[in-house]
Amino acid sequence: MIPEPLLAQEHELARWRRDVPALALRVHDHPLTYLDNAATTLKPQAVIDAVTQVALAQAGNVHRGVHALAEAATEAFDAVRPQVARFLGASADEVIFTSGATASINLVAHSLGRQVVGPGDAIVVTELEHHANLVPWQLLCAERGAELRVVAILEDGRISLEDLARKLDRRVKLVALCHLSNVLGTVAPVAEIAAMAHAVGALVLVDGAQAVAHLAPAELAVSRLGCDFYVFSAHKVFGPTGTGVLWGRRELLAQMPPWQTGGEMIASVDYQRAQFRPPPERFEAGTPNISGVIGLGAALHYLTNLPAHRAAHEAALHRALCAAVAGAPGVTILGRPQAAVVSFVVARAHPHDVATLLDQRGVAVRAGHHCAQPLHGRLGVSASCRASLAYYNSLEDVRALAAALSAVREVFP
């Protein structure tokens, strides 16, 4: 079915799976087959332990106390910022903690967007975008009297660089795109797109929510990507929910006003005025999600210490997944997936019904428009099912999905 040398050895994969307690669950008296990683990833025990440790021994607030619990929390929290910077090939003072990729994009839209976008200007997005990388730009354009331009995708799901070239001119202030599509599994040529955008003076924001758990470190290095902003969420990369990252070029962050104000981001204040701290603290008002950030650090430590061949293992599994779904009777794959996800529709069956029947056999997939309703409209469907992988998935998971899809055809012949 797939080249065995590219898969992790059985004992190695078994160890990876033991590290993730949720994989031992049974669902409707079946072993859990978890193929909803694009929605959220399961957590290794190391992440669970790190979050628990915060409640047990690092329970103080960060940056605000000199007692032992506060100092322990601060030390653990502050260690994560340079760790994220290394993960992205960046500098620590360019890493901002947020509540997720959505908050990161909204921060840029509200802070930088209101500075650089005015009447007659334009913002460019692609047909692939998640609502989080579309709606903030819609609202900004409506508020500022600007134009939103949408770049078409080709029939295989790749971004049309020809259409992008047509829609780039000196009026464009920002290009926003996803690194890896959460619906079609398309990997964007970010470096090429960034060069095209910079040639007309536009900035580039990349939604990396799906990419960070799947692409190789070299493919995530922001210096090689050439983008100006990169965002992702912790829970898509085996960390806790409610935590995210915004990376931005230092010189841009220095020019941006705060989006939210309050404690922690203040340098000094009286009753008339306030002076704000420099980035990244300028954009981190209030008590942060301390356990979430520390959990993110544990997740990145775990991920980056997995063997390098885990990427080959996942790529081989993805090929097997595509083949299994394509071979199921009455099933049509959307686009031509390149990594991580496979979205599909089943003839004469609503995706929610398909997902419910799969769940009855212990197979967890996503059903709906995956927060990409305009993209589904572009593809001529209202919704789809989506199976998505992580490093801990196995050939047995792929086989379980294939068997469950065959059972679906018995209900919807």
Which of the following is catalytic: 141, 178, 322, 371?
371
Known active-site residue 178: no
Given the DSSP bridges, would you call strands 266-269 and 30-31 parallel, antiparallel or unpaired? unpaired
Q: What is the DSSP string of 305-372?
A: TS-TTHHHHHHHHHHHHHHHHHHSTTEEE-S---SSEEEEEETTB-HHHHHHHHHHTTEE-EEE-TT-
CA distance linking residue 181 with residue 202, whole number of Å: 22
Phi, psi of 333 (to 5 degrees): -80, 140
DSSP state of 56: H
- Asked if 206 contacts 177 with a C-beta cutoff of 8 angstroms, the reply is yes
CA distance linking residue 342 with residue 215, whole number of Å: 16
SS3 state of residue 245:
strand
* CA distances, 9 to each of 5, 218, 364, 377, 396 (Å): 8, 25, 24, 41, 14
- Asked if 64 contacts 75 with a C-beta cutoff of 8 angstroms, the reply is no
Q: What is the 3-state secondary structure (H, E, C) of 365-390?
A: CEEECCCCHHHHHHHCCCCEEEEECC
Q: Which helix (H) or strand (E) holds 203?
A: strand 203-207
Across the beta sheet with 172-178, the strand order is 95-98, 244-248, 229-233, 203-207, 172-178, 122-126, 147-151
Q: Residue 353: is it exposed, middle or buried by C-beta count within 10 angstroms (0-12/13-18/19+)?
A: middle
Looking at the DSSP assignment, which residues form a beta bridge with residue 244? 98, 233
Q: Residue 91: is it exposed, middle or buried by C-beta count within 10 angstroms (0-12/13-18/19+)?
A: middle
The residue with tokens 């709906």 is 368
* Catalytic positions: 371
